[in-house]
């Protein structure tokens, strides 16, 4: 192991700076960082090390491939954060926690990895094709697919094929917006543009 | 971070251990080590702690580690 790449150095000042930024953004959007400050700083440091290694914030508790397209779903905040928060009260690494945990009514604990399970069960995990909705051959087919499925719906249902704008969904938090393309950054969870998929 | 906590706990318990930081390995070694880890812990999560080549704790669970190390 003598030729192992050295672990890049991240300063405490930089880690603290990102901590403050993430804390502010989380609280303004209804999320919470883990109240164990030293633990949280350790996770953030791991993320910053990954940024120096790979160029992006790969989850500090998962083994990244170094290939961004392959790792897109585990760039923090990961695609699994919100369902894990809802089910377990923490995300996989416990950087983000639920109100229960902030209030001390529940303790963070090891949770199962949702990533492998989802990747095995669904085709929606192909991140390179993030603009395409799951089970749809191409983005252009989405409107037609929705229209052909519509006859079973009540007549009061909106005519989805006649949308004046496409609908984009943030894969991290579920935020939806109707516009020509996804925003640069999700206004709710701060995930970047490449985490959006075309929803309709 | 959970790996760091696991190392701290092992240190506190005073047990001897070897460790590999898989994320720092060169690509070819990383693949080999991942295979070994999957044999013990099919989920391949970290930390994976193998105790006396007999038992394994997948992920950091303080109670389970204390229990199995007794």
CATH 3.40.30.10 correct for B2-69: yes
Q: Which residue of B has its CA nearest to A111?
A: B59
B4 reaches A (C-beta below 8 A) = yes
Q: Any chain A CB within 8 A of the CB of B28?
A: no
CA angle, B62 as apex, B59 and B63 as ends, to 5°?
A: 115
Task: Report the complex ipTM.
Answer: 0.89
Q: What is the pLDDT of residues A121-152, one digit of tens each?
A: 654 444 444 444 444 444 444 444 444 444 44
CATH class, range A139-198: mainly beta
Q: What are the residue boundaries of the structural domains of chain B, listed by start?
A: 2-69
Interval B32-45: pLDDT, tens:
999 999 999 988 89
Which of B23, B28, B30, B56 is the best substitution to test chain A (most A C-beta atoms within 10 A)?
A: B23
Is-cis flag, bond preceding A33, omega within 30?
no
pLDDT at A157: 64
**Distance between CA atoms of residues B37 and B47, nearest Å:** 10
Who's near A97: CB < 8 A, 6+ residues apart?
A: A32, A33, A34, A35, A85, A89, A90, A91, A108
In B, minimum Cα distance to A46 occurs at B1
Share of chain A above pLDDT 70, in %: 76
B52: closest CA of chain A, how far (Å)? 23
Domains A12-123 and A139-198 share a fold: no
B38 shares contact with chain A (CB less than 8 Å): no
Q: What percent of chain A has pLDDT over 90?
A: 69
CATH homologous superfamily of A12-123 = Ferredoxin thioredoxin reductase catalytic beta subunit (3.90.460.10)
**Rounded distance between C-alpha atoms, residue A127 and residue A132, angstroms:** 9
| Cα angle value B12/A46/A11 (rounded, 5°) | 100
**Which pair of structure tokens corresponds to residue A150?**
């519509």
Domain ranges of chain A: 12-123, 139-198
């Amino acid at each position: 192991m003598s030729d192992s790449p050295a672990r890049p150095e991240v300063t405490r000042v930089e880690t603290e700076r990102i901590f403050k930024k993430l804390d502010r953004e989380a609280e303004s959007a209804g999320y919470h960082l883990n109240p164990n400050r030293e633990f949280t700083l350790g996770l953030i440091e791991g993320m910053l090390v990954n940024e120096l290694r790979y160029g992006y914030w790969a989850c500090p508790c998962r083994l990244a491939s170094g290939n961004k397209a392959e790792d897109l779903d585990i760039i923090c905040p990961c695609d699994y954060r919100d369902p894990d928060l809802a089910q377990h009260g923490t995300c996989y690494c416990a950087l983000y926690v639920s109100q229960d945990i902030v209030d001390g009514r529940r303790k963070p604990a090891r949770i199962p990895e949702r990533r492998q399970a989802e990747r095995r069960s669904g085709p929606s995990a192909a991140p390179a094709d993030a603009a395409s909705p799951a089970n749809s051959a191409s983005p252009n087919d989405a409107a037609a697919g929705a229209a052909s499925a519509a006859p079973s719906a009540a007549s009061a249902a909106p005519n989805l094929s006649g949308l004046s704008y496409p609908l984009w969904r943030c894969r991290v938090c579920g935020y939806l917006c109707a516009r020509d393309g996804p925003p640069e950054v999700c206004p709710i969870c701060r995930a970047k543009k490449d985490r959006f998929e075309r929803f309709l | 971070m959970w790996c760091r906590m696991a190392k701290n706990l092992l240190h506190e318990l005073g047990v001897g251990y070897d460790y590999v930081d898989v994320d720092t390995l060169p690509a070819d070694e990383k693949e080999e080590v991942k295979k070994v880890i999957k044999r013990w812990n099919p989920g391949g999560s970290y930390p994976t702690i193998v105790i006396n080549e007999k038992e394994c704790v997948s992920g950091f669970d303080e109670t389970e580690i204390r229990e199995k190390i007794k």
